[in-house]
Structure 1
Amino acid sequence: MLPRKLKNFMAYKGLGNQKRYQGQIPEIELPKLTRVLEEYRAGGMDMPVKVDLGQEAMEMTIKCGGHEADLYRDFARAGIDKVVLSYSGAYQRDDDCSVAAVDIYCRGRLEEIDPGSAKLGDDTEESFKYALAYYKLVVDGEDIIEIDAMAMKCIVNGEDRLKEIREAMGLFTTF
């Protein structure tokens, strides 16, 4: 069996009437999902183990093939999750030709604009880095991972991994 390889993708901004960046974005650095793990060793332990201290901050970078004024409009916008971005990729296996739809939905804020350099006759590229507060991975219509920092949710394959912690803290309960 051969692995699924990215054959094409599309990037979008906004909800509902989305702005589609067809032919304008040659590369996206997708969000890394990283847990903060810290070594812990106490008496009676032969070696340290790494304990989970939560999720690291997520970010995504969009690289444009030229100047895209629409992305500049989000600079210094208030709110940690006011910029809505999404990625739709088509991943195909070359042995059985099956295609998987991979969708990533994010909300965050524009953190950095790198306009690159301007040199006559050279190709141009601009980068936009977003700090994310929300992430959702959907593969072939199935929710795989959903991370919502403000709702303190981390749902993986349908299992809400932070539910018991929220309940112990009295969050999202009614009296």
Structure 2
Amino acid sequence: MGLPRKLKNCNAFADGMSYLGVIGEFEEPKLAIATDDWRGGGMIGPVKIDNGLEAMQAVLTMGGHEVALIRKFGATSADGVRIRLVGAYQADDGSAAQAVEIYIGGRFSEIDPGKSKPGDSTEHKYTVPLAYYRRVVDGIDEVEIDMIAGVFIVDGVDRYGEIMAILTN
């Protein structure tokens, strides 16, 4: 029997600037394989055919007005906004904390400043469609996806390497 690792605390960095105490929430991208049904002659039912990856998107929620992030809106490069998120996960069973780092590259497609009222908390949400995603756990790369460069590595296995080798030779 065990206990789940829960996020104990987190921080975000953009252009080397720390948002410790400012980052409120981070929604990681869903990782999904794009598929189509295929049923050929002689098959008794369809199978899902791998067509690459679905688009990825992350959402950051900051605890207020951050002009440095607002100034990144309209970046012309698909991966023009680079953000590093760091989380400390720990189970309440006495085990050591686990470091999880998320590296994302994209551009803000939407900045939602929400409602502002004197004396109330404010939150700004930044929606980031991603061109790049990397997840590192305790210093080990678990997943790296670079949509533009054709990189799709999971647990050290380059899932797209054979295809990219054909395309680049």
How much does 1:118 deviate?
Answer: 2.3
5 Å-filtered alignment, 1:127-142, equals 127-142=125-140
**Whole-angstrom distance in 2 between the partners of 1:122 and 1:41:** 57
User: TM-score, normalized by length of structure 1?
Assistant: 0.91
The more displaced of 111-120 and 20-29 is 111-120
Question: Which residue of the other structure, out of 99, 102, 110, is the alignment partner of 2:100?
Answer: 102
SS at match of 2:108: strand
Taking structure 2 as the reference length, the TM-score comes to 0.94
Alignment of 1:168 with 2:166, yes or no, is yes
**Offset of 1:119 from its aligned partner?**
3.0
- Please give the alpha-carbon distance, in whole angstroms, between the structure 1 residues aligned to 2:20 and 2:78: 26
Q: Following the alignment from structure 1 to structure 2, what is the Cα–Cα distance between the partners of residues 33 and 167?
A: 24
Q: How many residues align?
A: 168
Output the CA distance in 2 between the equivalents of 1:140 and 1:119. 41
C-alpha deviation, 1:59, in angstroms: 1.2
Q: Distance in 2 between matches of 1:9 and 1:118?
A: 25
Aligned mate of 1:42, from 22, 40, 55: 40
CA RMSD of aligned residues (A): 1.2
Percent identity of the aligned residues?
47
Give the equivalent residue in structure 2 for 1:60. Answer: 58
2:57 alignment partner AA: E
Alpha-carbon distance in 2 for matches of 1:20, 1:120: 26
* Superimposed CA distance per residue, residues 59-106 of structure 1 (whole angstroms, 9 cap, x where no aligned partner): 111111111111101011211112110111000011133211100111
The 2-side partners of 1:2 and 1:121 are apart by 39
Decide which moves more: 37-46 or 130-139: 37-46
Q: What is the rounded CA distance, in whole Å, between the counterparts of 2:44 and 2:144 in structure 1?
A: 36
Unpaired runs of 5+ residues, structure 1, are: none
SS of 1:151's partner is: coil
